[in-house]
Structure 1
Amino acid sequence: MDFFTSQLLLIAFFILIIHSIETLAYSVRLSGARVKLLASALSLFNVMVMVSRLANMMQQPFTGSLIDNAPKENALDFVEGQYRILIGSATLGTIIGVLLLPTFIAIFSRTIVHLADERGSVPRLLKKGFSLAYFKRAMKHLHLPRISYLKDMNWREIPVKLFIINMLITAIYTIGVLSALYAALLVPDRATTAVMASGLINGIATILLIIFVDPKISILADDVINEKGSYITLKSASILMVTSRLLGTILAQVLFIPGAHYVAWFTQFIV
């Protein structure tokens, strides 16, 4: 295995972890609403978010180095091929997250209750979680999604606009850094400006997510806890968001190059 292949696989592994965890985030409110401990659920999930952020910080310098180590000849085609593999790893990570959803909901719901029993002590919870007895109990909840999981879902209530918005946000978030780095190759005289634009792109995507998507799902979770809404409605919305996220990572393959050209074009107004 040569240097480029091993480095690419390492970056792909980090991206896979990031997107798996972010996909599982959609089930956190389901778990919290299930045991009526939503705030504890969100707090506990921050531990996993920390792992995701760490993986993100570790992969970014390596991803940038693919540009520096690209051959002088056909650099654009070489980097494009590598970055499309990385986008594919985002899709794979999302699929893994989808497959783990039923298992995660079952285990995470019980973990939330144990956190409450430990009065919010994460270290004591981790100590208990890594015990052999707890591990054996957790293994009993391992199962793949079944068709029956979609039972009783009301597809008529699916908000199409929310589905599309989440898909677009996911696509932008997936290619934000990659398109900016690729744009640096397109406009080498404005390379640094193009690279730094990635923060702006991901920042806008995050803002859109916070404004348009998160509040609606949170309201549905609150309605379940306050007995104003049904768990089935929340589950339907969560599965909807996971599906749109998966499609968003696929859409990212289409938007990758146009996004890079847009970033390259936009830098001329900054420099």
Structure 2
Amino acid sequence: MEFITEKVILIALFIFIIHSIETLAYAVRLSGARVRMIASALSLFNLMVIVSRLSNMMQQPFTGSLIDTAPKENAMSFVESQFRVLIGSSTLGTLLGILLLPTFVALFSRAIIHLSEAKGSIPAVIKLGLNLDFIVRGLNHIHLPRLSYLKDVRFIDFPFKLFIINMFITAIYTTGVLSALYAALLAPERSSTAIMASGLINGIATILLVIFVDPKISVIADNVVNNRGGYQNLKGVSLMMVSSRLLGTCLAQLLFIPGAIYVAWFTKFIA
């Protein structure tokens, strides 16, 4: 498999970490509701989002360079194979995030309490997290998901429309940049226009996420803190949302080429 180069492995590792972090972000809300400190939890949530976005920005130039270094013969099939590996790494990263979810709910619960004790100082919490004694005690919280974790969770109460919306938004976010880059090969005369469209695609996906998904999860978390809803309901919603993320990364494999064709077609109205 000549298309799997060191650069592809490096980019795949970045994407793997990005999707793991974004999946584990759901653990922050669960932890905030668990210790009844939602506002403090949002500070940690924002920190994770910044780390994820920064990692995403760092990998994009490397991903773009795969187009420049592709062989002239069979360039499209070569790049397609590389990009499908990258999409696959997003699926594996999301799966790892799901497996680590119970562990990070416990760890974030402690981190939120320490954030309160540190009077809101993120650097102080990070310094504490790097303490060897803290790390050793944190290892005791590591455990894989068990069937008991689903106890009293009622999936029947979950809004499945939100499940579908989140799945499609995740698919668009996962393949947006890659489809735009591939569109540059489909329409080489408008390659720059196609590549710059990647920001628009991811921007739209982010806006849809903020409008349709995040507020509903936040309201459910607030209901738990205000005793208007049960923690098990929030846990069920969070589990369904990470599952929809996982399916969304799989759906991205199907949307990759159609998305590239659409971007290439759309650039005709811009260039």
Specify if TM > 0.5: yes
Counting only pairs closer than 5 Å after superposition, residues 185-196 of structure 1 correspond to structure 2 as: 185-196=185-196
Shift of 1:45: 2.8
Aligned to 2:241: 241
Residue 202 of structure 1 corresponds to 202
Which deviates more, 113-122 or 48-57?
Answer: 48-57
Structure 2 Cα separation of the partners of residues 152 and 4 of structure 1: 45
Which segment is superposed worse, 118-127 or 259-268? Answer: 118-127
Structure 1 residue 51, shift from structure 2 partner: 2.1
In 2, distance between residues paired with 1:155 and 1:53? 31
Q: Is the 2:3–2:82 Cα contact (8 Å) retained in structure 1?
A: no
Measure, in 1, the Cα distance between the counterparts of 2:7 and 2:28.
32
Deviation at 1:57, TM superposition (A): 1.4
Structure-2 separation of matches of 1:261 and 1:207 = 23
- Tell me how far apart the structure 1 counterparts of residues 87 and 128 of structure 2 sit (CA, whole Å): 36
Q: Distance in 2 between matches of 1:218 and 1:125?
A: 24
Percent of pairs identical after alignment? 69
1-side partners of 2:2 and 2:48: how far apart? 32
Cα deviations by residue, 1:97-151 (Å, 9 ceiling, x for unpaired):
0011000000100110011011111222222221121111100000001111111
> Are residue 258 (structure 1) and residue 258 (structure 2) matched?
yes
User: CA–CA distance in 2 between the matches of 1:235 and 1:12?
Assistant: 30
SS of corresponding position for 1:67: helix
Distance 2:208 2:22 in 1: 16
Letter in 2 for 1:88: G
Q: Deviations over 1:162-186 (max 9, x none)?
A: 1100000000000000000000000
Say whether 1:50 aligns with 2:75. no
CA distance in 2, matches of 1:262, 1:2: 28
CA deviations over 1:211-248 (Å, ceiling 9, x no partner) = 11111100000000111111011111100100000000
- Whole-Å Cα distance in 2 between the matches of residues 231 and 118 of structure 1? 26
Counterpart in the other structure of 1:162:
162
Return the letter of the residue paired with 1:141. H
Contact 2:4/2:82, CA 8 A, preserved across alignment: no
Rounded Cα–Cα distance in structure 2 between residues aligned with 1:259 and 1:129: 42
Change (3 A) 1:139 1:118: same
Q: Which amino acid aligns with 1:251?
A: L
Computed over aligned residues only, the root mean square deviation of the Cα atoms, in angstroms, reads: 1.4
Q: Which amino acid aligns with 2:50?
A: M
Q: Which runs of 4+ in 1 moved over 3 A?
A: 1-4
- Deviation at residue 54 of structure 1 after TM alignment: 2.1
CA distance in 1, matches of 2:123, 2:27: 23
8 A Cα contact 2:22 2:48, kept in partner = no
What CA distance in whole angstroms lies between the structure 1 residues aligned with 2:3 and 2:120? Answer: 45
TM superposition shift of 1:42? 1.1
Give the aligned residue type for 2:177: V
**CA drift at 1:205:** 0.8
Distance 1:3 1:89, change over 3 A: closer
Deviation, structure 1 residue 2: 8.3
1:38 CA drift (Å): 0.8
TM-score scaled to structure 1, two decimals?
0.97
2:141 match: 141
> Tell me, what secondary structure is at the counterpart of 1:227?
coil
Query: Matches of 2:263 and 2:10 in 1, distance apart?
Result: 26
Once the two structures are superposed, the pairs formed by residues 5-84 of structure 1 within 5 Å of their partners are 5-84=5-84
1:110-129 pair list within 5 angstroms:
110-129=110-129
Between the aligned partners of 2:3 and 2:87, the Cα distance in structure 1 is 20
Q: Secondary structure at the match of 2:5?
A: helix
TM-score by length of 2: 0.97
- Measure the CA separation in 1 of the matches of 2:228 and 2:89: 39
1:50 Cα deviation from its structure 2 partner: 2.6
